[in-house]
Structure 1
Amino acid sequence: MFENMIAKLKANKRKLVFTEGLDPRIIEAASRLHKDGILAPLLLGNPNEVAAAAKACGWSIDGIEIIDPLNYPDFEAMVAKMVELRKGKMDEVACREALSKSNYFGTMLVKMGLAHGLLGGATYSTADTVRPALQLVKTRPGNKIVSSCFIMNRATENGAEKYVLADCAINLFPTEDELVEIAVETARSAKAFDVEPKVAMLSYSTMGSGKGESVDKVHNATEKLKAMNLDFPVDGELQFDAAFSPEVAKIKCSNSPVAGQANTFIFPDINAGNIGYKIAQRLGGFDAYGPILQGLNAPINDLSRGCNAEEVYKMAIITAVLD
């Protein structure tokens, strides 16, 4: 899965901010990414402290850029820019205080075009990574929400089996309009990971076989998607077996352009999504990469606080390859 992404990044090297520059997992991943020539890591923290931490864990950070938010030469310009962005919501004192913290400081580096994206959350909560992104980078024009997807990957004899699942981590009970937005953004993400999206809008009903408010929501969202000028096929509402199995699709919905061959699955709510990806991970033997945030104006992603250095390394590649 990662070979194509690494090749893309080596041909177009991007700078990625790591908010927790003192963390040994971040240092190891950044050192490897720099040594492998995949991207340009930017670590946040006091340079002397970062150097000491790197020495303690045995990883070289020679040639890696380190910025101390508390001693940044253009700090005043950054404060002024944030005051402008948060006009009426945060005054200069509040902005100055926020920018002393690496999550806000790193997000402003991305907002000001000084880095392509950001990866945080090794010690910060998800909210502390997402909140600055929503306040400063904001959602892509036309988008109202941030959503998430997981890339599910399993090695096979012929290469790899890969699917995209959403939303499994952010939106609890999306409305039909939010499902539309999630589907469009997830198709965009799929393309970034070399999956040509065939989108199934999942339900406990296939084309009217079941009834209920949730079925209506998924059906209506699908109809809105079909009325749009999309460059990918979408269909629903579909049960998972009809979306995935060609044999079942022939029985339940033989005329569907997606059923039986879907590779991008949109769940009706977070319960179904979260349970679904974990079943695929634990019973199906898939590697689950995510949650990958969608809908923002720049690539910003959140790590699990229980992550290891290998997970940081791979999530950095995933983040950097996104537009």
Structure 2
Amino acid sequence: MTATGRSLNEIDTTPLTGRLGLETRPLIGGEVTVSAVIASDPTGAGPALLIGTGNIDFDARCAAALGVPLLVATGPESTLADLAVAEAERHGAVVVTLTDPADESALDSAAEELTAAVAEPVMSPALFEHWLLGQARQKRTHIVLPEGEDDRILTAAHQLLAQDVCELTILGDVDEIQSRAADLGLDLSAAHLVNHLTDPDAEVFAAEFAELRKAKGVTLDQARETMRDISYYGTMMIHTGRADGMVSGAAHTTAHTIKPSLQIIKTAPGVSFVSSIFLMVLQGKLWAFGDCAVMPNPTARELGEIAVVSARTAAQFGIDPRVAVLSYSTGSSGSGVDVDRAVEAVAAARELDPSVAVDGPLQFDAAVDAGVAKKKMPESAVAGRANVLVFPDLEAGNIAYKAVQRTADALAVGPVLQGLKKPVNDLSRGATVRDIVNTVAITAIQAGAK
């Protein structure tokens, strides 16, 4: 039995689809008994009212994942409508109800709510990941994965290739990679498998690296030995144009990933150092937290640069950046050296890039809650609306992103390294396959940014 106890034909939605100019299509194939329909355009086939499966739990999860509203068509005599709506909202779906398709005012109200909701998709972790992979797919970039001995890397590569997200090179012993892929049931036939220890390009890379580092006294023999290191080899692939970006760190430290990049790729023009953001995806929200992974104790000037670079990075991922420099004080409500540092950081950010919307010092609640901002900093264009949150140091940032991730059921994507001429991103050694897939997609988007 459905939530309404009746089939879609008995709850005729034709008057509603006519009002909205939509056709009706099944969410999944086949004729089904339904309790709900979803208004959206997730397939690219044109706006439609998508017929649900009749399972409120599944339909609500689909609506939340697609970021679109769920229409619960209950009929005028339904006794279970409230339960259906509560269940759908529990999964984060935005719910629009239609109690009687014969009632003109009910049709008008449902049509108005659906039109408004479809116009602005509701952010969710599933929706963001769907968007992320789609954006990466459009960039057509080439990413190198140096850690071919790790099953997680191979599994992520299989998923990325199956979805045609990007071109991949995997470094390691080719026979071992192929054997392990076969054992795991993975298809890596579309990947470039390269043994960096026997690849002829290693000699070219060694000569180039020796030239790059000759001022540091690096000889050709030393460069040859250095190219035996997967991180250096992968980074040289990027430097010489054989790849567009690299993702590493599943089996190596952050320093092992970043050090070759600083020596070979170097920082982008106008950027002094490498920093990071985490993309924090909550139901209805997409925030960027910086820096939570690289800079331990930034100066005021460095905080200002982190604010500017974080805004630019966030913009690559669909965020219209409004940057808050966080503190224990909002405006002039507190005092102390840390507050002064936040004030100086805002001034430095505005000097570095006057186009960036940045303000501070702001407490977290004043940064993201419009009601609090109205009381504490009513004249600010950022307060209450901030979506790029710059923490005063690594300790505060790391604690904050983990607290939000664990207590708010947030998807934390990152760290996204920023400031290099070409993208290299670091994985946690505890990274899941999902983390790796997301990080490769992020790297592809960074590599394809103009």
Common topology (TM > 0.5)? yes
Q: Deviations over 1:207-263 (max 9, x none)?
A: 121111111111011012223443331111111111111111111110001001101
Relative distance call for 1:310 and 1:229 in structure 2 (3 A) is closer
1:50 and 2:50 are equivalent in the alignment: no
1:141 and 2:269 are equivalent in the alignment: yes
- In the alignment, the residues of structure 1 paired with residue 272 and residue 249 of structure 2 have an alpha-carbon distance, to the nearest angstrom, of 23
- In the alignment, the residues of structure 2 paired with residue 247 and residue 8 of structure 1 have an alpha-carbon distance, to the nearest angstrom, of 34
| Aligned residue in 2 for 1:300 | 424
| Aligned residue in 1 for 2:383 | 259
1:87 and 2:211 are equivalent in the alignment: no
Q: CA deviation at 1:45?
A: 1.1
Match of 2:440 among 307, 316, 319: 316
1:104 and 2:244 are equivalent in the alignment: no
- In the alignment, the residues of structure 2 paired with residue 5 and residue 311 of structure 1 have an alpha-carbon distance, to the nearest angstrom, of 12
| Aligned residue in 1 for 2:131 | 4
Task: Letter of the 1:48 partner, please give it.
Answer: D
CA contact (8 A) 2:327 2:362 kept: yes
Relative distance call for 1:208 and 1:307 in structure 2 (3 A) is same
Task: Letter of the 1:133 partner, please give it.
Answer: S
Task: Letter of the 1:197 partner, please give it.
Answer: P
Q: CA RMSD in A?
A: 1.3
- In the alignment, the residues of structure 2 paired with residue 228 and residue 126 of structure 1 have an alpha-carbon distance, to the nearest angstrom, of 28
Match of 2:189 among 54, 59, 62: 62
- In the alignment, the residues of structure 1 paired with residue 262 and residue 363 of structure 2 have an alpha-carbon distance, to the nearest angstrom, of 33
| Aligned residue in 2 for 1:249 | 373
1:36 and 2:163 are equivalent in the alignment: yes
After TM superposition, list the pairs within 5 Å mapping 1:146-161 onto structure 2: 146-155=274-283, 160-161=284-285
Task: Letter of the 1:117 partner, please give it.
Answer: G
- In the alignment, the residues of structure 1 paired with residue 185 and residue 275 of structure 2 have an alpha-carbon distance, to the nearest angstrom, of 37
- In the alignment, the residues of structure 2 paired with residue 12 and residue 289 of structure 1 have an alpha-carbon distance, to the nearest angstrom, of 19
Match of 1:20 among 138, 147, 161: 147
1:271 and 2:395 are equivalent in the alignment: yes
Q: Deviations over 1:269-312 (max 9, x none)?
A: 11111111111111222111111111111111111111121221
Match of 1:69, SS state, is coil
Q: Deviations over 1:184-208 (max 9, x none)?
A: 1111111111011000011111112
Relative distance call for 1:228 and 1:295 in structure 2 (3 A) is closer
CA contact (8 A) 2:265 2:422 kept: yes
Q: Which has the higher contact order (CA 8 A, sep 6+)?
A: 1
Q: CA deviation at 1:174?
A: 0.1
Q: CA deviation at 1:7?
A: 2.3
Match of 2:313 among 189, 192, 210: 189
Q: CA deviation at 1:21?
A: 1.1
1:172 and 2:299 are equivalent in the alignment: no
The size of the alignment, in residue pairs, is: 319
Task: Letter of the 1:270 partner, please give it.
Answer: L
Q: Deviations over 1:93-120 (max 9, x none)?
A: 2211110121110010011111110000
Q: CA deviation at 1:315?
A: 1.2
Q: Which 5+ residue runs of structure 1 have no aligned equivalent?
A: none
Task: Letter of the 2:147 partner, please give it.
Answer: E
Q: CA deviation at 1:141?
A: 1.4
> Which protein has the larger Cα radius of gyration, Structure 1 or Structure 2?
2
Match of 2:289, SS state, is strand
| Aligned residue in 1 for 2:344 | 220
Q: Which 5+ residue runs of structure 2 have no aligned equivalent?
A: 1-127
Report the TM-score when normalising by structure 2. Answer: 0.69
